[in-house]
Copies of this chain bind each other. A is one copy, B any other.
Amino acid sequence: MVDAVRATGAPVSGAGEIFQILRDGRARTKAELANLTGLARSTVSNRVDALLASGLVRPAGEAVSTGGRPPARVAFNPLAGYVLAADLGATHATVAIADLTGRIVASRTHPLDIAAGPETVLDVVIAEGGALLDAETDARARLAGVGIGVPGPVEHSTGRPTNPPIMPGWDRFDIPRYVQGSFDVPVLVDNDVNILALGEQSVGWPGIADLVFVKVATGIGAGIISGGTLQRGAQGSAGDMGHVQVPYSHDSPRPAGDERDLEAIASGTAIAAELRSQGIAAAGSADVVDLVRSGHPAAIAATRQAGREVGEVLSTVVNMLNPSIIVLGGSVARAGEHLLAGVREVVYRRSIPLATQHLGIVQSQGGETAGVMGAAIMVIQQVLSPASVDARGARA
């Protein structure tokens, strides 16, 4: 898209509003767009022509005539641009390319150790991404942006990881600058949980403006979408649910006075420790998932209890932010309904009726590509925003 606009130099100023309407994919006539926007017919006509010239919008056949020449329809052209998306985990990487709706056109996943350091890992992303782009006609020339999710805290405004515990060598590394050495487009970086929140919203809950995604795996983290926007907070540490301290409560068998981080009592790592204290062999999160899937009663009980502890924190979040949907993801959540059941038990009992009567608490819908889908959405939200479409056109 970026290059399409650059190439034509078409002025798209003021077209942002019309373009946002067309992003739903439906074909419309200029008359329909004038009705929807309240804009004058001549204004709509100029702006649609500009969008056609930019490539963001394409001709889409004719409507049925009500007498005279049948009116032409236009529609969003998702292939006007491509996004390169990467989801980096501790021990694997998924690299994908997506069209401008966020649909994954092609993707590859394979083992990759994040601890190999930024240059080694990003060189793989660049090589894999380049290969995926080159397999589609014109995709490299139409690259609109790159989105990358990493397993640690990131200063989103600069794209630099900040003290990431499991990413040695990455602290303060300028990821956008390094990637822009190969792809001269906007490069956005965020932590994996924020990326997954955007991916879940896109896959399962499009149009839902208030969604909280919680990942329970080796650690615990949350991605908060509120008022339609992913909330990162003042220093980018919003959603740090794993470090919320949870005091004793009715719902916990822990002794009064025992206050620990949520991650220390409800993560996969913590559940494994609890099981070991009961004499059950469980080295970590992966063993917990295996035991739960095999129906092991103590593992199931411990996972449900972890859900109650997560629910303690979420009941405060529900009262404070009034979300419509809480999505539980991560390996422990996906091992069955047990974590979900514990969360529901506490949240529905503790929160006020006004905040819970329309609240859904559900399992993650996103599969293996939810991460790259979220990374693509992050980029698309920026490069196709009304201001970006307007500004890019007006500067051309």
Enumerate chain B residues within 8 angstroms of A395, measured Cβ to Cβ: 38-40
A224 with B321: CB separation less than 8 A: yes
Question: Which A residues, 311 to 349, have Cβ-Cβ distances below 8 Å to chain B?
Answer: 312-313, 315-317, 319-324
CA distance A321 to B153 in the complex (A): 14
The residue of chain B having its C-beta at the shortest distance from the C-beta of A346 within the complex is B245
Count chain A residues whose beta carbon lies closer than 8 angstroms to a beta carbon of B: 64
- Is A227 engaged at the interface, CB distance under 8 Å to the other chain? yes
> Assuming A43-B394, A245-B350, A250-B259, is B316 touching A233 (CB within 8 A)?
no
Q: A227 contacts which of B17, B232, B315 (Cβ < 8 Å)?
A: B232
State in angstroms the CA–CA spacing of A227 and B322 once bound together: 16
Give the residues in chain B near A394, CB-CB below 8 Å. 14, 37-40, 43
The 8 Å CB contact of A13, one of B43, B237, B317, is B43
Interface of A is mostly: loop
Q: A237-256: contact bitstring with B at CB < 8 Å (1 yes, 0 no)?
A: 11111011101111000001
Residue A190 lies at the interface, judged by CB distance under 8 Å to chain B: no
| A110: interface (CB < 8 Å) | no
Provide the bound-state CA to CA distance between A390 and B386, in Å.
Answer: 12
A226 interfacial contact with B, CB 8 Å: yes
Given contacts A14-B390, A39-B395, A244-B315, 8 further A-B contacts (CB under 8 A): A14-B394, A17-B390, A227-B231, A231-B321, A236-B322, A248-B248, A249-B259, A256-B257
